Chains A and B, each alone.
Chain A
Amino acid sequence: MELDSLKEIWREAQPDEAHGMSRPDDAPGAGDRHADAYTGRESLLPLLQQRSRGPVARMRRNLRIELLCIIVAYVPLILFYLVEFQGRLRAISLLLLLVGGLFCAYYYRKSRLLSTMQCLSCQVRSNLARQVGTLKKYTRFYLLASTIVIPAMAILTYLIFHFRLFYPDNTRVYHSLSPAPWWKNSTIWLLMLVPFTVAMYYFNVWYINKLYGRHIKKLQELLREMDEE
């Protein structure tokens, strides 16, 4: 039998037959399976109010949760160090504010990438190419941001601790704790950071690959299949 001769059977197949989708039990007319009360409008209208559960929508939701967690954790801490201890630990608020600012830039960049990640009304091939390209940019940025966040925080902490924390008599906390010259402490601090940053980099490579690696690989396979002659 030729595939062409199956076209008619294919087109004749009723939606429910093709799909095997049954009417929900709580739907109007569910008691009588043969009734025509379950019209398209009644079944489609509730779907328009639903939230998307696609991969991009899930990534966007996760990003929003991340932002919410940062706000919930950082704002009370910033306020606390700003007003407590007679304002002597304001520098910690400044540190947290800087990190919060960096996170806002991180959120903005990720959010922009997610908003351009797919074009569902575009041709399938161009949508796949766009997804692969944007997802790669997204993971590169994710890797960069998650790798530098720890050393950046450590350096900021060091600088603030060194220059901005004072006792009530205006002597630097840093100098009273460490009599060694500043360059010696800075070098030790940096030497400790290097292996930690390298370890974080490899951990992030593994983690990001676990999150997105299979998805990217599959999209690339689909794209390659579309392009091959």
Chain B
Amino acid sequence: MILLYKPYYKLFVVSNGQQDDFIRLVDQNRGILHKVCRLYCFTETDRQDLFQEIVIQLWRSYPGFRGDAKFSTWLYRIALNTAISDLRKQRPPTTLTDPGELPTQLRDIQYTGEKEQQLQLLYTAINRLTEVEKALTMLYLEDKSYQEMEEILGIPQNNLRVKMNRIKDKLRKMTKEATYGIG
């Protein structure tokens, strides 16, 4: 039996069974957490710190998870809220006025395969988006429906569609001179 301190001056009792369930669920969704860290941090140390912080916040919030929403929706909310709120690990936003800069950077990267090359290109492009755009792009790439995106982000679906089209345009512009254009 574990006593879990919550910042509302309450103690929650979490059984060992619940702890096991939690670890199993987080382990199953570990890839999502790693991708969030990869998108929102620029150094390895920051990524590890953010990963740790997200797991801590998930664990603290776990007693309040009643299964009303899907576990992945709940996990996305906490991971994105933690990543977006922790502004220390984010560099100042990059302006997108010079898309021609990107291919020069990309030529310096050693690629081992076509897929890795595309993935690296994708990450490089997404890193130049704003925090909100990154979240949206990630959910889109994870094949979430607009309804799920709305449940996670709290942005109306119509607005999400407009934003997503704008993001696609941005990504296309940023990569138009690269070997693989994204659009």
- A146 near B: Cβ within 8 Å? no
CB-defined contacts of A55 to chain B, threshold 8 Å: 85-88
Stretch at the interface among A11-19, A92-100, A188-196: A11-19
Number of residue pairs spanning A and B whose beta carbons lie under 8 angstroms apart: 168
Contact of B35 among A19, A47, A115, A126 (CB under 8 A): A19
Q: Is the CB of A10 within 8 A of B52?
A: no
A 90-118 contacts with B by CB, 8 A:
114-115, 118
Interface size class of B (residues with CB under 8 A): 35 or more
Q: Is the CB of A3 within 8 A of B168?
A: yes
CB-defined contacts of A3 to chain B, threshold 8 Å: 140-141, 168, 171, 182-183
Contact of B52 among A47, A122, A214 (CB under 8 A): A47
- Tell me, rounded to whole Å, the shortest Cβ–Cβ distance linking B137 to chain A: 8
Contacts A10-B141, A222-B84 known; A48 to B57 CB distance under 8 Å? no
Per DSSP, chain A at the interface is helix
Interface string of A8-31 (1 = CB under 8 A from B): 011111111111111000000000
Q: Is the CB of B84 within 8 A of A124?
A: yes
CB-defined contacts of B65 to chain A, threshold 8 Å: 121
Could you list 17 A-B pairs, sorted by A, with CB under 8 Å? A1-B182, A3-B183, A14-B31, A16-B34, A20-B47, A44-B27, A47-B52, A52-B60, A53-B52, A115-B9, A120-B82, A121-B74, A122-B81, A124-B84, A127-B85, A214-B87, A219-B85
Residues of A within 8 A of B (CB): 1-3, 6-7, 9-22, 39-41, 44-45, 47-48, 50-56, 60, 114-115, 118, 120-128, 131, 214-215, 218-219, 222, 225-226, 229
